[in-house]
């Protein structure tokens, strides 16, 4: 869908095997948890798309609520850097548990 087209890869993988040409792959990154994965068309894995972040999500249930990656990092840090992260705190607590916030 459009989610795969509107952003480039977030990373690249190179695998070197003896006697073979290097294999190169691209990784996408979940806009919520930061998981990197290799897109395999036809794998049957269901991924998601966040309309607010305008990017793909990994498909995990915990990543269905919109807690942007940057906000998640700030909440790990106790939201000391940016006040806007606090509006995501409730959703973050549901995902990570109250002890992290």
Handedness of CA 87, 90, 92, 98 (dihedral sign): positive
| CA dist., res. 38 & res. 15, Å (int) | 13
Q: Which of 1, 2, 5, 17 binds another protein (CB under 8 A)?
A: 17
> Terminal CA-to-CA distance of the chain, rounded, Å?
35
Kindly tell me which of 18 and 41 has the beta carbon lying closer to another protein. 18
Is 101 one of the binding residues for another protein (CB under 8 A)? no
Kindly tell me which of 2 and 12 has the beta carbon lying closer to another protein. 12
Handedness of CA 49, 50, 56, 61 (dihedral sign): negative
Which range in 28-36, 46-54, 85-93 contacts another protein by CB under 8 A?
A: 28-36
Q: Which residues bind another protein (CB under 8 A)?
A: 8-18, 27, 29, 33-37, 60, 62, 69, 73, 76-78, 80-81
């Amino acid at each position: 869908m459009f989610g795969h087209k509107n952003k480039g890869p977030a990373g690249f993988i190179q695998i070197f095997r003896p006697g073979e040409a290097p294999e190169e792959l691209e990784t996408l990154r979940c806009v919520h948890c930061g998981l990197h994965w290799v897109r395999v068309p036809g794998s049957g894995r269901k991924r998601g798309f966040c309309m607010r972040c305008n990017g793909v999500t990994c498909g995990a249930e915990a990543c269905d609520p919109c807690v942007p990656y940057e906000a998640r990092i700030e909440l790990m840090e106790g939201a000391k850097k940016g006040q806007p992260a606090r509006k995501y705190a409730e959703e973050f607590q549901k995902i990570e548990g109250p002890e992290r916030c």
